[in-house]
């Protein structure tokens, strides 16, 4: 008999048929035998143990009990009736209750006959009761297939309505193992299996669907998680290697006058060890003849901009132009003024292009870009317009890249020109610019390994000297008068203060009311003319927003009351206090970003998290984390544990890692092991041609062919 191939459509599995196949496809994405095999249980019910009624605890665990029914009665209730049976064993009695199907149950139950019941117990009126138990005559139970742990599969309302219950899915799974004779090819090499003491593939699948005991289940889960993460890493690393071989880069082979002049005479401060290390990594990329694709992570205030500036100088020294794209006008303005101030000293020409740039200025910018007299262009999405043509773009820096779509980033690729030094043999017309992506949103290392496994990653993990960590405290609303007293003292010292209110998109009217109530109470406590207050929120015109921001930046107002529009990028070194109202309504990374608005000067800064007394456990964890650490990476790890990977990357990338069994957060150690093995194997055998790696090669080509789920990456 022919054993069916795992790519066989699910409709051909005995007991499925066209209707069920259609429901399985639409609800769970199950199209083939392989998909069903990879439908892994969510949890397991342990049926290896029998409880006595006298041992039951008030937990909501599922339990299995042997005993018999001694009487049955119908009880009237407000709506309809319920059927109640008294179930006894030699240690006590309990009730079994049915609200549906009573007639059939009453006719089929046998009194004083041994049964095994299974279900979840409730404690009600001083007695244990089990609603709608699974029941089996003891004689039948003893004959049955001994599955110690019963798997519970993912389900949906529609599946239940169509009668595809957990029992039905289990039956399908048994049928699949029968038809395929449990012959599943082994995709890992013998070396990996031996070194990690992994169960073989077939045995793992058997024990994930029909586990004999807890120990074998744990081994099967480890094996399958490792395999899934290993092939993801293999694909990411292969893509990275391909890109480095195929996508040639502009050769930046000299460190020239501009870089040296700036480094020797105009650096505003001594670089930290981390900054020096990152610049070295970038220089290595730029001289390697491959296109640079590097992600630069660094906490708020760690000095990413200066690294960006020095990378731009390398591009200019090699005869190319550079650009920096930021997600908002405020941020683009800030980058521009910072870069201009640094580079005016070495005589470089820099311009700013945003939505508000006047038409007359645009025309000048366009022509200077094309004739090459403009070295650096800073801007927002406006840089992507077709009119914007560089003479020879050699470097594109993207700030906070998760705010830009893939298509937008690709547009920058096509803006390369031809090099000025014509003796350069490769025409840069066909070569893309080098890409440096900067982010102040720390991405947990685990997630970075999976989402950006094909980018090179640099981390600036130390703050510039002289920066004091921000002191963070949690205060309840009842301490507000004390908090305001502290704010008065800081303002007396000449400092400025932010007060931020949450923004919940669903209800702008409500947010606006919260903000205005807050503004009024602050205005009462900090009256004019002694105090000046700025207010900024999402419903203001951009010009009004900029005017208010500007007053605060210039020090004309002492307090800035705002919604989270100030989250990214406003730089006011004189602001030393950040008060976050209803702090429990913010996510961790947002709290951390807001805290980064203060602590930019030499003075001690403070972040005060205000909340009411009623807090969920998760909110308590977030507030505790904020008061305990200033390390963005540590915070990102906690955030990932609380929210899961989909949320952290924002909705546009949720579900990116379409994982069947592994969990990036909980299986962090397995991920590291998988990446280590993938690196070792590709190092020794890049094309997977050695005999021992052929199973890996075969499985890898199947994955790429049938389900290339990792192609969304960068």
CB 609 within 8 A of CB 591: yes
Residue 579 burial (10 A CB sphere; 0-12, 13-18, 19+) = buried
3-state SS, residue 154? coil
Q: Dihedral sign for Cα 311, 315, 317, 318, please.
A: positive
Whole-number pLDDT of residue 436: 92
Mean pLDDT of 493-511: 76
Whole-number pLDDT of residue 455: 72
Residues 642-696 pLDDT 10s: 766 544 444 333 334 567 888 776 787 898 899 999 999 999 999 999 999 999 9
For the chain, list the domains and their CATH numbers.
1-47+147-182 (1.10.150), 54-138 (2.40.50.140), 257-460 (3.40.50.300), 471-629 (3.40.50.300)
**How far from chain centre, in Å, is Cα 580?**
24
Whole-number pLDDT of residue 348: 93
Residue 406 has pLDDT above 60, yes or no: no
76 pLDDT tier (thresholds 50, 70, 90)? confident
- How do strand 293-298 and strand 456-460 relate by DSSP bridges? parallel
Element (H, E) at 180: helix 166-180
- Enumerate residues 6+ apart whose C-beta is below 8 A from 132: 97, 98, 99, 100, 119
Residue 505 burial (10 A CB sphere; 0-12, 13-18, 19+) = exposed
3-state SS, residue 459? strand
More confident residue, 502 or 311: 311
Order of strands, sheet of 575-580, starting from the edge strand that comes earlier in the sequence: 471-476, 606-611, 575-580, 496-500, 559-562, 533-536
Mean pLDDT of 292-318: 88
More confident residue, 710 or 692: 692
- How do strand 62-76 and strand 81-89 relate by DSSP bridges? antiparallel
Residue 703 burial (10 A CB sphere; 0-12, 13-18, 19+) = middle
Whole-number pLDDT of residue 450: 66
Whole-number pLDDT of residue 624: 92
Whole-number pLDDT of residue 364: 95
Please tell me the distance from the alpha carbon of residue 446 to that of residue 448, in angstroms, as a whole number. Answer: 6
More confident residue, 371 or 301: 371
Peptide bond into 699 cis (omega under 30): no
Average pLDDT over the chain reads 84
Whole-number pLDDT of residue 579: 95
Radius of gyration of the chain (CA): 32
Q: What percent of the chain has pLDDT over 70?
A: 88
Residue 610 has pLDDT above 90, yes or no: yes
Which region among 108-117, 168-177, 399-408 has the lowest average model confidence (pLDDT)? 399-408
Whole-number pLDDT of residue 454: 64
Please tell me the distance from the alpha carbon of residue 531 to that of residue 514, in angstroms, as a whole number. Answer: 21
Question: 313-330 b/e with 16+ CB inside 10 Å = b?
Answer: bbbbbbbbbbbbbbbbbb
- How do strand 114-120 and strand 62-76 relate by DSSP bridges? antiparallel
**DSSP bridge partners of 75:** 82
pTM: predicted TM-score of the whole model, two decimal places: 0.63
Residue 510 has pLDDT above 70, yes or no: no
Please tell me the distance from the alpha carbon of residue 275 to that of residue 281, in angstroms, as a whole number. Answer: 10
Residues 118-134 pLDDT 10s: 888 888 878 899 998 98
Whole-number pLDDT of residue 511: 63
Whole-number pLDDT of residue 473: 96
Whole-number pLDDT of residue 420: 40
Whole-number pLDDT of residue 205: 95
Mean pLDDT of 412-429: 50
Whole-number pLDDT of residue 566: 61
- Enumerate residues 6+ apart whose C-beta is below 8 A from 698: 185, 187
């Amino acid at each position: 008999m022919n054993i069916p191939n795992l790519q066989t459509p699910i409709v051909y599995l005995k007991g499925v048929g066209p209707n069920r196949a259609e429901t399985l496809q639409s609800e769970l994405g199950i199209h083939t035998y392989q998909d069903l095999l990879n439908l892994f249980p969510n949890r397991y019910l342990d049926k290896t143990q029998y409880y006595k009624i006298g041992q039951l605890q008030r937990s909501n665990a599922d339990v299995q009990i042997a005993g018999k029914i001694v009487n049955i009665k119908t009880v009237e209730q407000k709506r309809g009736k319920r059927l109640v049976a008294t179930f006894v064993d030699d240690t006590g009695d309990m009730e079994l209750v049915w609200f549906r199907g009573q007639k059939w149950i009453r006719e089929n139950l046998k009194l004083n006959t041994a049964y095994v019941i299974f279900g979840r117990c409730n404690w009600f009126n001083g007695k244990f009761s089990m609603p709608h138990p699974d029941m089996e005559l003891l004689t039948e139970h003893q004959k049955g297939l001994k599955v110690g742990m019963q798997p519970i599969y993912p389900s949906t309302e529609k599946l239940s309505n169509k009668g595809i219950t957990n029992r039905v899915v289990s039956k399908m799974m048994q049928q699949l193992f029968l038809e395929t004779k449990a012959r599943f090819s082994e995709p890992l090499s013998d070396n990996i299996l031996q070194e990690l003491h992994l169960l073989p593939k077939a045995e793992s699948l058997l024990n994930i669907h029909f586990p004999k005991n807890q120990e074998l289940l744990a081994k099967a889960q480890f094996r399958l998680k490792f395999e899934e993460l290993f092939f993801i890493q293999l694909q990411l690393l292969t893509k990275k290697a391909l890109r480095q071989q195929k996508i040639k880069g502009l050769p930046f082979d000299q460190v020239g006058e501009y870089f040296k002049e700036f480094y020797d005479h105009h650096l505003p401060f001594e670089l930290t060890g981390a900054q020096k290390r990152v610049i070295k990594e970038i220089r290595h990329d730029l001289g390697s003849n491959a296109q640079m694709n590097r992600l630069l992570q660094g906490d708020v205030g760690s000095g990413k901009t200066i690294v960006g500036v020095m990378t731009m100088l390398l591009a200019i020294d090699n005869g190319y132009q550079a650009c920096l794209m930021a997600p908002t006008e405020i941020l683009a303005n800030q980058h521009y003024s910072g870069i201009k101030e640094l580079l005016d000293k070495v005589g470089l020409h820099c311009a700013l292009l945003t939505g508000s740039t006047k038409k007359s200025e645009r025309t000048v910018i366009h022509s200077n870009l094309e004739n090459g007299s403009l070295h650096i262009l800073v801007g927002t999405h406006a840089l992507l317009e077709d009119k914007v043509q560089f003479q020879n773009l050699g470097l594109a820096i993207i700030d906070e890249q998760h705010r830009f779509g893939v298509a937008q980033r690709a547009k920058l690729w096509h803006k390369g020109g031809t090099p000025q030094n014509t003796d350069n043999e490769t025409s840069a017309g066909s070569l893309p610019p080098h890409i440096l992506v900067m982010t102040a949103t720390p991405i947990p290392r685990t997630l970075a390994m999976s989402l950006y496994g094909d980018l090179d990653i640099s981390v600036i993990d130390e703050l510039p000297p002289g920066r004091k960590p921000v002191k963070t405290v949690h205060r309840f609303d009842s301490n507000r008068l004390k908090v305001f007293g502290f704010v008065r003292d800081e303002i007396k010292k000449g400092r400025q203060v932010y007060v931020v209110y949450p923004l919940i998109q669903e209800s702008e009217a409500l947010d606006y009311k919260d903000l205005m109530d807050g503004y009024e109470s602050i205005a009462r406590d900090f009256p004019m003319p002694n105090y000046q207050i700025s207010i900024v929120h999402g419903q203001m015109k951009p010009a009004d927003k900029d005017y208010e921001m500007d007053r605060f930046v210039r020090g004309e107002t002492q307090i800035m009351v705002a919604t989270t529009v100030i989250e990214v990028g406003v730089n006011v070194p004189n602001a030393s206090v950040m008060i976050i109202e209803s702090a429990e309504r913010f996510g961790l990374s947002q709290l951390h970003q807001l805290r980064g608005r203060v602590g930019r000067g030499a003075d001690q800064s403070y972040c005060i998290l205000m909340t009411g007394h009623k807090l969920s456990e998760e909110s308590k964890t977030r507030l505790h984390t904020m008061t305990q650490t200033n390390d963005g990476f540590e915070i990102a790890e906690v955030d990932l544990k609380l929210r899961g990977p989909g949320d952290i990357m924002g909705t546009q990338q949720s579900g990116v890692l379409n994982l069947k069994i592994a969990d990036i957060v909980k299986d962090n150690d397995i991920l590291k092991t998988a990446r280590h093995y993938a690196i070792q194997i590709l190092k020794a055998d890049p094309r997977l041609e050695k005999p021992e790696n052929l199973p890996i090669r075969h499985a890898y080509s199947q994955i790429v062919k049938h389900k290339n789920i990792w192609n969304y990456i960068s």
